[in-house]
Chain A
Amino acid sequence: MASNKKYWKSEAELNPNDSIVEALRNNEFTEEIPVDEFLGDKENLSSSNTSRRDFLKYVGFSTAAATVAACEGPVHKSIPYVVQPDNIVPGVANYYATTIADGFDFASILVKTREGRPIKIENNTDAKVNGGANARVQASVLTLYDSKRVQGPMANGEPVEWKVLDATVKAKLNALKGSNKQVVLLTQTYASPSTTKLISEFKAAYGDNVNHVVYDAISEDAALNAYSKAYGERALADYDFEKAELIVSFGADFLGDWQGGGYDSGYAKGRVPKNGKMSRHVQLESNMSLTGANADKRYPMTPTQQKIALAKLYGKLNGSSVGGGTSDVDEAVDRVAAEIKKAGSKAVVVSGLNDENAQTVVLAINKLLASEAFDPEKPKYVRQGDAAKVSKLIADMNAGRVGALIMDGVNPAYTLPNAEEFLSGLEQVDVSVDFAYTNDETAQASNYVAAASHYLESWGDAQFKKGEYSLMQPAIRELFDTKQFQTALLTWMGVEKTYYEYIKETWSADILQGGSWNKALQDGVYVAPAMMVEDGEATTTQVDSEEEQPEIVPIASAVRSLVNATSSGTELVLYSKVGMGDGRQANNPWLQEFPDPISRVSWDNYVTVSKADAESWGLENTIEADGGVNGSYVKLTVDGKVLENVPVIIQPGQAVGTVGLSFGYGKKAGMQEEMATGVNAYTLYSNFSDVQSVTVEKLGGEHEFACIQSHKTLMGRGDIIKETTLEIFNTKDHEEWNPMPHVSLNHNEIPVTSPDADLWEEFDRSIGHHFNLSIDLNACTGCGACVIACHAENNVPVVGKREMRRSRDMHWLRIDRYYSSEETFEEDNEKKEEMEGLWGDKGSLGGFREMEDPSANPQVAFQPVMCQHCNHAPCETVCPVAATSHSRQGQNHMAYNRCVGTRYCANNCPYKVRRFNWFLYSNNDEFDFNMNNDLGKMVINPDVNVRSRGVMEKCSMCIQMTQKTILDAKRDGRVIKDGEFQTACSAACSSGAMVFGDINDHDSKVAELKEDDRMYHLLEHVGTKPNVFYHVKVRNTNEA
């Protein structure tokens, strides 16, 4: 077998003395199920008032009553439209191209609506920039149906009419005109040309004392300032990782939310080995980020070390000597510098350090390299927050210099580290108006709450990147009495126009330049070619003239200050999670239940600690008998500010001397109780710096995590993830690195795929469609967009933290994350091969332990696993009622109405992908999530069943989608083209890791992928013949 490497999922598994872990490997439950507790107690049983006979009577009676009641069918009403809208046909979905620009997530998307209700978000493949919807964007459709929405405008907590609110604000604005008090618009980043224009007109209408302050909860201030100094515009340089052969990242989580995100599809394209080449990715970071997990080489470093390393790297590339700093990073810097020099302009360096000097140096390095992946001329506008202005605003508010504060898309009372200061300042403001989506912390403290519309109810436009425009159009009318900020501004300016008309005018005048508005609206994206060229040239010339001479001086000082960076004590690195982002969608149960790709923890945030630090501080993670993970509590103190009871996760790969904590949790106001989880990391976000000096103190007690990492282990069966290195991949036969398992037939070894090795007669699937799903482990970044897309498409219920902890999660698609020990593959193999026996120096017990020392820097692999749709499915043969059966199209069917819930199938499934409905998750107050209220139910896909209690369910390979594609083709009388067949996950996958299609169509992409040398099936030796296949992960370990 290619890999004898042992994979492990949790640090606790490596403790050979932990009997529970060992037991969990073999049993589902480590303890006896305590039936004796209630059956063994004779006395208790006999003293009960209900005798066995009574019980049987009740049962008999209720059964009879239920039977009788069931004979009479209920009367269903059908209520048609009075006037049916032209473009709505009941039962047929409509798609609209729109844009999300909520201040944190920016993407061009398609919205699927059914009978006027948005039910799903899909990628807009026409968009060149940010066309992929991440997990949060996928989930944003449920936020539309948030039961905690503000449903109408309020004044001091009492509902008012918009008329009243508008009149009051207008009067106040007029009163303030020309006064010495400021009128401040404190808003999110819009990246919207129309809004920018509107706000400037608003300023013109209400005088010079109107101020617009843009505030990003998670600041990219340093990068914005650095770019602004270098290129004269407050924006962010764009990077195209597809063009890079070497990516060096200093703590930039660019597969996550770094500088607005959206880089994963370009990155993934370069990661797939083509003609023996793929990009190499080196990550120097402190927290184990999604990006670091995908890196070929990862150096755990504290932020201070990163700064020093960056400065020294600049010195090496520049040829100048950079003295000072510690020398512990020198080796890494030497290696990275050598690689960069070799790659030349094919290399790119990025940094997530929120330090202006670091960002300046990064820009300089890329310019120096003339990096092809670096695009400073057409920058991105998705972050515009200005921390200095925000700080000044708070000072002004407290000094009583602000007359009116109008907020939109921000929640400073929650996201500001100095929230108390902001709140006291807010009291000094004469009138405060908050365009709020929920009655959050800021809304509760404001005079007026202007109920804000969701982006799916709003008009808008955006310019993510210079010259790349996109349009936002409503997919549904306002559900409640809400307004969007821009409409209100127009009203207050006394303009008798809708915001739609305003956008259209702006576009006709400034953007379209003869292009068609309707076409732009239909596509959702628009690139004005003429203007692009013109603007591009203008910028370049301007930049060149401006920047030539001042460049040298600030760089030198920047490098000097970087290399002299010091830290005192432990460094706390604040980050944003893939699932939660900045926390604006915290009341979204899909996102709460989304397991973090790295830690596999849902419903929580936590402080990540390295193994070494955990040992010295006495912190631990333990695995409980039910498979749940527990963690110690700590107290974090930053500069006098204290966060109590923060649970601990011991994170392999965490740089020693650092701890990590994610934003977005600990929100209390405007939240459902179940969703108010975690601690608020913003309180420690002093000076908008994501690196803080922290003291960690252990507290008593244990936290119960809803962590699914130790569940569904594949019971020790190996060969789940196959991986190799680029060198071996290029030089050796695929039988070496991707061997076909062999089985013994009459004492002869035959490949497991041979028909002789089969118990079953092969069913002929050569006619019609035969669906296969290809998953490329190289392209998969583990981002989890597919998990949420599957949630939305298939009405997967939310089960809540308690059930998640008990491994009763209902996700049809999970992304397994495996750690492995050694940096290179061979070292692992060698060690393993040298093992002899269990004990002793070369014993496997001690050997594994040694190999898998968590304080070392692990390699990470992600593997999406859903039902493998086996042609020889083990689940089918054990079902006593034939509720699950295979089809000629390659899909393994599950008839819920036939299922009686024996769970034999789940026991017999080698992939552990079947999910049992332990409870009724809809219309059940015990599971008070979206399926328990009328608003949340609007997101349910009408083409897919909502399953009931006692029924087994699993991935259907989106049969409702494949059937629809077939029907559409039949109706049109045409042949189906490649690419038309999609599943929710493959459609959501913007990195191209998942490809779905018909392998009987021999020209299809999936058929080609199936013939690839890298193709393998999960647990091939079991002989299940799955219709889902994977591609061997290739790591580029070639160092310069």
Chain B
Amino acid sequence: MKKVLYRHLFSKVLGLTLLLFSTSFYAQEEAEATTDAAAEQTAEAVGGDPVKGKQLFNQNCAACHALDRKMTGPALANVETRLAEDEGLDKEWIYAWVKNSPGVISSGDAYANKIYDEYNQAAMTPFPTLSNQDIDDILAYTAAPPPAPAATTAATPAGESTGSSSGISNEMILGALALVFGLLVIMLILVNKTLRRIAEANGVVLEKEKEKRLPIWKAFAQNQFLVLVSVVFLLLASAYFAYGYLMQVGVDQGYAPVQPIHFSHKIHAGDNNVDCKYCHSSARVSKTSGIPSLNVCMNCHKSIYEYAGNPEGPSAEDLANGYTNDFYTGEIKKLYKAVGWDEENQSYTGETQPVEWVRIHNLPDFAYFNHSQHVSVAGVECQTCHGPVEEMEIMYQHAPLTMGWCINCHRETNVKVQGNEYYEAIHEELSKKYGVEELTAAMMGGLECGKCHY
């Protein structure tokens, strides 16, 4: 089974990253320190505030521009110097461009038109609200050399050879303990023997068993009632366990297969608060929740090309699992490959490779389940059945998805009838019939076989 394999790997990676943790952490800090210093230096020279600039950049520019790479628009690192040196354009030109780029283009400016044509004639959004000082701040930020990638590259691929150390040490400890225990037993026996000998030598007569009582097992065997009771008990107990075993056959609660792309619901739904139904949009209207098509991923990942993680860097736990920023960035590259996105030219190549996700929630074909009934009509939270998805680094099956589980919920859950004209008449009549205000799904006929089996 794949999940078992994965757990094995998981422990290996855990051990490995623990070892490497300290070195990488230091390296990263060092790198950050250097960038900060450099930024401060340049800021003074230009006359803008790079800290404010960073904020402005992230608010206004980051959707289309990056510092060190082409996106929808060109890379902006050192843009001021570059323009001044290569094109002979001054700051005034930049002000004009940022505030009203279509105007500059239509004025016939050569470089403006060149850029415009180079980037598929997609005009840059004008930002008339930005003041010259704001633009200076942004320029100050762009003039700071882009931060070097954190030196955590060694994390994932570095040697599975060192990885298994923790497993061995555990065994050794256990072995040592067993040895100590064995020695103790031997010592006790020896002490006992010696004491006996001393006692014999001293003439102390050890008390002997006076009369042989019936051994307990024989007594047990002779008491037929007891035998009967215990047999019944044993049979019942084994039946209980056998039933329990058989009942879990085909129930894949906790099933967490390895997926072709390591997609973290924790990062998307948890850290970034992306609504479940943004990606699983068909849950609102269809029986399937829909695995999002790759173009939905690209809505965001066109601009999110790398994983920056939380500002403090990966948590210890993540690092222990090998979930470094680079690891996640690598997964984004897998998405690009699948969808055929050429990062260099910011265009689709047309060579696609559909992602073959491993399906986690498998209802049998004879059970009909409709997401929209539960999500849109009943307003059930996704988490009710799927568990704390926003905390799941690896998606797993939270609920048992057995019929008993469905039925229980239908028995207990009150139907949301308020504000739904469809339910008005039915609600009124049924409330009268049952003499209650709130109606469960079961009262509405939600337990009938044919509602789910056809």
Contact = CB atoms under 8 A, between A and B. Distances in A.
Contact of B422 (A80, A885, A963, A976): A976
A885 B448 CA distance: 8
A895 B420 CA distance: 30
Interface residues of B, number: 60
A80 B290 contact: yes
Interface string A892-933: 011111100000000000000000000000000000000000
Interface stretch (B92-100, B134-142, B357-365): B357-365
Interface residues of A, number: 52
A692 interface: no
Contacts of A887: 445, 448-451
B286 A92 contact: yes
B359 A82 contact: no
B422 A70 contact: no
Interface string A749-778: 000000000000000101110000000000
A190 to B, nearest CB: 37
A893 B449 CA distance: 7
Contact of A70 (B249, B292, B366): B249
Interface stretch (B119-127, B157-165, B368-376): B368-376
A78 B357 contact: yes
**Which one of A89, A766, A966, A974 has the greatest number of beta carbons of chain B within 10 Å?**
A89
A553 interface: no
Nearest to A971: B376
Contact of B366 (A885, A896, A967): A896
B286 A91 contact: yes
Nearest to A75: B358
Contact of B294 (A83, A92, A764, A974): A83
B250 interface: yes
Contacts, number: 159
A82 B285 contact: no
Contact of B372 (A883, A971, A975): A971
Contact of B291 (A70, A80, A888, A889): A80
A73 B358 contact: no
Interface in B296-354: 296, 338-340, 352-354
Contact of A83 (B287, B293, B357): B293
Interface in A753-810: 764, 766-768
Contact of A971 (B356, B377, B450): B377
A82 B422 contact: no
B363 to A, nearest CB: 11
A967 B252 contact: no
B370 A77 contact: no
Given A81-B293, A91-B290, A943 B285 contact: no
Contacts of A971: 285, 372, 376-377
Contacts of A883: 449
A891 interface: yes
A897 B366 contact: yes
B386 to A, nearest CB: 15
Contact of B355 (A79, A91, A893, A966): A79
A883 B364 CA distance: 17
A896 B453 contact: yes
A866 B62 CA distance: 65
B445 A943 contact: no
Given A84-B296, A92-B285, A967-B372, A893 B250 contact: no
Given A73-B252, A76-B358, A897 B453 contact: yes
B448 A90 contact: no
Contacts of A956: 450, 454
B286 A89 contact: yes
B295 interface: yes
Interface in A959-984: 959-960, 963, 966-967, 969-976
Contacts of B296: 84
A331 interface: no
B2 interface: yes
A80 B294 contact: yes
B370 A82 contact: no
Given A71-B249, A81-B293, A888-B445, A91 B287 contact: yes
B421 A973 contact: yes
**Which one of A75, A894, A943, A976 has the greatest number of beta carbons of chain B within 10 Å?**
A75
Contact of A889 (B292, B294, B376, B445): B445
B453 A895 contact: yes
A960 B358 contact: no
Interface in B194-241: none
B422 A969 contact: yes
A973 B366 contact: no
A887 B450 CA distance: 8
A888 B454 CA distance: 16
B111 interface: no
A649 B421 CA distance: 58
B293 A945 contact: no
Interface in A843-865: none
A870 to B, nearest CB: 15
Contacts of A974: 421-422
A974 B425 CA distance: 11
B359 A77 contact: yes
Contacts of B255: 73
Contacts of B282: 89-92
A72 interface: yes
A944 interface: yes
B423 interface: yes
Contacts of A896: 366, 453
B48 interface: no
A946 B454 CA distance: 9
Contacts of B340: 82
Interface in B360-406: 362, 364-368, 370, 372-373, 376-377
Nearest to A888: B445
B362 A73 contact: yes
Nearest to B294: A82
B433 interface: yes
B451 A963 contact: yes
Given A83-B295, A894-B450, A970-B420, A77 B358 contact: yes
A343 to B, nearest CB: 49
Given A80-B354, A767-B430, A891 B450 contact: yes
A80 B292 contact: yes
B160 to A, nearest CB: 25
Given A945-B366, A973-B420, A768 B354 contact: no
B354 A79 contact: yes
Interface in A633-690: none
A288 B454 CA distance: 39
A82 B352 contact: yes
Interface in A84-118: 84, 89-92
**Which one of A891, A897, A960 has the greatest number of beta carbons of chain B within 10 Å?**
A897
Interface in A933-954: 943-946
**Which one of B359, B365, B450 has the greatest number of beta carbons of chain A within 10 Å?**
B450
B174 interface: no
A75 B259 CA distance: 12
B419 interface: yes
B85 interface: no
Given A894-B450, A895-B449, 8 more contacts: A78-B356, A80-B290, A82-B353, A885-B450, A893-B453, A945-B365, A973-B419, A973-B421
Interface of B: 1-2, 249-250, 252, 255, 257, 282, 285-288, 290-296, 338-340, 352-359, 362, 364-368, 370, 372-373, 376-377, 419-426, 429-430, 433, 444-445, 448-451, 453-454
Nearest 7 pairs between A and B by C-beta? A893-B450, A91-B286, A84-B293, A81-B293, A76-B359, A91-B288, A895-B449
29 contacts: A71-B249, A76-B358, A77-B356, A77-B359, A80-B292, A80-B294, A82-B354, A84-B293, A84-B295, A89-B282, A89-B285, A92-B286, A893-B449, A893-B450, A894-B454, A895-B366, A896-B366, A896-B453, A897-B366, A898-B449, A943-B454, A945-B365, A960-B368, A963-B451, A967-B370, A967-B373, A973-B420, A973-B421, A975-B425
